[in-house]
Amino acid sequence: MPLTLTVPAPDRIEDPGVEIRPKQLEKRLNALPLTNFSEVSRILREDIGALNRQKIAMDVRLQLLEAYNNVILKLMPALEDQFVTARLPLQEKPRQMVELALHLQAELATGHKIILLDYQNKRIKLGKGKIALTAAQRGMSALSRILAIHYQIYAPAPAGIWSEIHQIFRFAMEQKIADGPGADNDIGPIYKQALLLALSDPYHLNPGEIRKIQEYLVLFGDLVQLQAPMQSSDPIGRFLVQIDSDSPPSEALQILDEASNLNSILLNTQELAHALRHHAGRLETGESPKNLHLPDSATEAGYHGLLRRLLKHWLATPKRTYRRTQRIAGTEVCTSLPALHHFLGGHDAVDSADLTFTATTKESQFISGKWLIVNESAGGLALRGIFKVLPQIRPGEIIGLKMEGSDRWHVGAVRWVKSDKARHLEIGAQLLAPKAMPTAIKPSICGPADEFTPALLLPEAPLLRQPETLVARHGTFGAQRELLLKFDDNTTETIRAVKLVEQTASFDRFEFSRER
């Protein structure tokens, strides 16, 4: 099947300012001040963009793009650090970094797509297969990075990107520049990693978890298998990839025969799921990540929990526990643990479109805003807002919700965020408790300068067999850690942290025992 990749038309007149000598280009790139990554990114974007509009031999273009790619790979971590943990919608600086990163990857992808189209149009392809294979690898990698960036900022995938990823994989197979599905080549692993990242439920991930998943997949992603469609009574761990579509993989609810699925392949994740279960279990028993050959990030708290969540997603798409119903209603929302603590203490809110609190010179001012509920279930809500004053929010935040006609603040946690426009936000919130008691907490053994920090005491839920829990800032929990709990009347109580229920980048929720 011929490629229909999007590339710009070449300039009719040669641009003398475009460097087409690989050795000279490497010298110039080596002299760039990489510490000024904003300016360097702008220069690279313009240079590669100009190169992509010149007619150049395939092998020369690939050499030039390799030089650019090596520099961009060094820049990307610094660029990503500017927006990966930023709250949404993005402020001006992180948004600029996102645009630079996307432009760089888009130009890299375009350059390699031009090589693939040139290869397709060559009458004599002898000796050009390695060039085409490298172009396919690099092009798919750049497109995959574009996808990952959109996941990191909780934005929809660009139209057409999955179509091009599928096309490049299919072209590499059909042209025999790479071996078939499951073979040991560099197209398969890159393709599998893109498919698996899409199946990780990226819009529900906490900030920074995309990078951890990528690190894990570099080591273990090739355990999945790409297979021809086949009859099976067990769809668990099998996902359908429609390579003639502009869509990510989906759960293979019904696996058809090969004749009716000429444009489909199966992604079999069962071996990867076995590895995930093994790694999560061993980490939970206290085994060193180094012994398991896991990335350095596996030492962080909550890593085994991430593996458990991935296990659910990579074995089968999780079914919704509660049915959602459409509902259009307003609700008052505040975000952050300190803000909800403030309102639960009976303090007044300042009506605003901004969800955040801003610190003044004298004291913190906590602000709530109006949102629309667009649907709800027994377990949570989907909310939407368009703002003049930008709210700042991210998955894993504690939020408070006060429904129309009520004076009670409910405790919720943000589970997913989508932001396709600068002033537009959609969030999904899980309700943690219908009420909470504002308290304050600090370690029982601490320095004289250590102060109490806001915490929320969530009541017991006997029907759900849930004991009372505490919500405190990230890093508060430690197994058997002794803590002081302070109440509004200034009385204190000694407690001991017992079991971590949930940990995000913003808060810890844990069970505790009261010291007698």
Q: What is the identity of the amino acid at 509? A: R
For 145, other C-beta atoms within 10 Å of its C-beta total 23
From 231-235, 353-357, 482-486, the region with the lowest mean pLDDT: 353-357
Nearest alpha-carbon partner for 90 in 357, 384, 393: 393
Annotate 404-436 with b (16+ C-beta within 10 A) or e (fewer).
Answer: eeeeebbbbbbbbbbbeeeeebbbbbebbbeeb
In the predicted structure, residue 271 carries a pLDDT above the cut 60? yes
Q: Which pLDDT score, from 0 to 100, does residue 223 have?
A: 94
pLDDT band per the 50, 70, 90 thresholds, residue 353: very low
Q: What residues does 333 pair with on adjacent strands? A: 369, 401
Annotate 162-194 with b (16+ C-beta within 10 A) or e (fewer).
Answer: bbbbbbbbbbbbebebbeebeeebbbbbbbbbb
CB 139 within 8 A of CB 105: no
Annotate 2-14 with b (16+ C-beta within 10 A) or e (fewer).
Answer: ebebebeeeeeee
CB 444 within 8 A of CB 450: no
Q: Which pLDDT score, from 0 to 100, does residue 253 have?
A: 61
Query: What does the block give as tokens for 25?
Result: 């280009």
DSSP-derived letter for residue 347 is P
User: Does a cis peptide bond (omega within 30 degrees of 0) precede residue 89?
Assistant: yes
For 289, other C-beta atoms within 10 Å of its C-beta total 18
In the predicted structure, residue 185 carries a pLDDT above the cut 50? yes
Nearest alpha-carbon partner for 202 in 121, 297, 193: 193
CA 331 to chain centre: 27
Q: What is the identity of the amino acid at 474? A: H
pLDDT band per the 50, 70, 90 thresholds, residue 369: confident
pLDDT band per the 50, 70, 90 thresholds, residue 344: very high
Q: Which pLDDT score, from 0 to 100, does residue 173 have?
A: 87
Q: Which carries the bigger pLDDT value, residue 294 or residue 185? A: 294
Q: Which pLDDT score, from 0 to 100, does residue 505 have?
A: 83
In the predicted structure, residue 366 carries a pLDDT above the cut 80? no
How much is the mean pLDDT over the chain?
A: 86
Q: Which pLDDT score, from 0 to 100, does residue 423 have?
A: 66
Q: What is the identity of the amino acid at 287? A: E
Share of the chain above pLDDT 90, in %: 59
pLDDT band per the 50, 70, 90 thresholds, residue 387: low
CATH architecture for residues 325-433: Beta Barrel (2.40)
Q: In whole angstroms, give the CA distance from residue 362 to residue 370.
A: 26
Q: Which pLDDT score, from 0 to 100, does residue 3 have?
A: 94
Q: Which carries the bigger pLDDT value, residue 223 or residue 256? A: 223
Query: What does the block give as tokens for 284?
Result: 């939970």
Average pLDDT over residues 272-281: 95
Taking CA atoms, 267 is separated from 18, 229, 235, 309, in Å, by 42, 9, 11, 19
Share of the chain above pLDDT 70, in %: 87
Average pLDDT over residues 315-341: 74
pLDDT in tens, 432-458: 999 999 999 999 988 888 899 999 999
Q: Which pLDDT score, from 0 to 100, does residue 447 have?
A: 83
Q: Pairing relation of β-strands 367-376 and 350-351?
A: parallel
Backbone angles phi, psi at 135, to 5 degrees: -65, -40
Q: In whole angstroms, give the CA distance from residue 268 to residue 15.
A: 48
Q: Which pLDDT score, from 0 to 100, does residue 182 have?
A: 42
Give the total residue count for the chain.
516
Average pLDDT over residues 426-436: 91
Q: Which pLDDT score, from 0 to 100, does residue 88 have?
A: 79
DSSP-derived letter for residue 422 is T
Q: In whole angstroms, give the CA distance from residue 91 to residue 243.
A: 36
In the predicted structure, residue 365 carries a pLDDT above the cut 80? no
Most confident of 85-99, 133-147, 401-415, 500-514: 133-147
CB 334 within 8 A of CB 431: no
> Which residues have a Cβ under 8 Å from the Cβ of 167 and sit 6 or more positions away?
1, 3, 4, 5, 243
Tell me if residue 371 falls in helix, strand or coil.
strand
Calculate the CA dihedral of residues 386, 389, 392, 395 and round it to 10 degrees: -10
Q: Which pLDDT score, from 0 to 100, does residue 361 have?
A: 32
In the predicted structure, residue 417 carries a pLDDT above the cut 80? yes
Most confident of 11-15, 60-64, 234-238, 340-344: 60-64
Q: Which pLDDT score, from 0 to 100, does residue 174 have?
A: 87
pLDDT band per the 50, 70, 90 thresholds, residue 388: low
Q: In whole angstroms, give the CA distance from residue 90 to residue 147.
A: 17
Q: Pairing relation of β-strands 264-268 and 238-242?
A: antiparallel
Q: Which carries the bigger pLDDT value, residue 33 or residue 109? A: 109
Q: Which carries the bigger pLDDT value, residue 482 or residue 394? A: 482
Most confident of 82-91, 103-112, 246-255, 440-449: 103-112
Q: Which pLDDT score, from 0 to 100, does residue 448 have?
A: 81
pLDDT band per the 50, 70, 90 thresholds, residue 351: very low
pLDDT band per the 50, 70, 90 thresholds, residue 97: very high
> Which residues have a Cβ under 8 Å from the Cβ of 98 and sit 6 or more positions away?
83, 90, 149, 153
Strand extents, DSSP E, 358-506: 358-359, 364-365, 367-376, 380-386, 398-403, 410-421, 424-433, 437-443, 453-458, 469-473, 482-486, 492-503
Q: Which pLDDT score, from 0 to 100, does residue 258 have?
A: 44
Average pLDDT over residues 328-357: 73
The domain segmentation of the chain, as residue ranges, is 22-178, 238-315, 325-433, 437-514
For 348, other C-beta atoms within 10 Å of its C-beta total 9
